[in-house]
């Protein structure tokens, strides 16, 4: 499925993305801010495995972020189960050459719309490591609000850190407002 706005497109990963994925993902500045499930160094076999995983889920949970037919990043939305089944966790990264162009914010706006309108979620949330100020800024720009601090929940790179949780709710007035104004196509 493609989710399209004026700024970019979220689409399914393709086998042909593997080389570009390695180029963008094999970067310590991305790894530092992401869970250890992301291998480092990041090799071609990792890219192939990831693309296989990313294309295996229905409904779709993992999208390539595409700007002018170029892979620039990745965003995932993961519905939880049991009593948490109306909540979904969001995770994302943008390749370093493309930082600071508003791409993460634009991708989040599309995934929020998909999470609420297509997946029927009532709450979306994301957790940032305490030092990741750029991601915290992006979430606030996209309409999320800080909701909790999970003290020393993260063990990354041999140290403990707080995780800062951000959330957005379908029934928020503010969210309903911009969900309507968002230019979106689902193909």
- Residue reference for tokens 């999320």: 144
Closest CA relative to residue 184, chosen from 29, 2, 4: 4
DSSP label of 114 = I
What would the x/- binding string for ligand COA be over residues 52 to 91, using CB under 6 A? ----------------------------------------
Residue 131: CB atoms within 10 A of its CB come to 15
Nearest CB to ligand COA, comparing residues 32 and 176: 32
Q: From the list 26, 33, 55, 118, which residue makes contact with ligand COA (rule: CB under 6 A)? A: 33
The footprint of ligand COA on residues 96-155 (CB under 6 A) is 99-105, 126, 128, 132-135, 137-138
Q: Which is nearer to ligand COA, 112 or 126 (CB)?
A: 126
CB 65 within 8 A of CB 8: yes
CA 183 to chain CA centroid, nearest Å:
19
We find the least distance from the C-beta atom of residue 139 to ligand COA, in angstroms, to be: 8
């Amino acid at each position: 499925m493609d989710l399209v706005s004026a700024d970019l497109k979220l689409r399914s990963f393709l086998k042909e993305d593997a080389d570009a994925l390695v180029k963008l993902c094999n970067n310590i500045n991305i790894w530092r801010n992401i869970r250890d499930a992301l291998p480092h160094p990041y090799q071609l076999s990792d890219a192939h495995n990831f693309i296989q995983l990313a294309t295996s889920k229905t409904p779709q949970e993992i999208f390539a972020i595409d700007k002018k037919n170029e892979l620039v990043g990745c965003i995932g939305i993961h519905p939880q189960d049991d009593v948490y089944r109306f909540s979904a966790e969001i995770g994302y990264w943008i390749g370093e050459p493309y930082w600071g162009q508003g791409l993460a914010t634009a991708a989040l706006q599309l995934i929020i719309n998909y999470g609420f309108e297509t997946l029927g979620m009532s709450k979306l949330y994301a957790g940032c490591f305490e030092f990741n100020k750029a991601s915290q800024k992006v979430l606030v720009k996209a309409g999320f609000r800080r909701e909790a601090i999970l003290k020393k929940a993260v063990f990354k790179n041999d140290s403990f850190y707080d995780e800062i949780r951000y959330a957005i709710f379908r029934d928020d007035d503010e969210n309903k407002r911009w969900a309507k104004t968002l230019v979106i196509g689902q193909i």
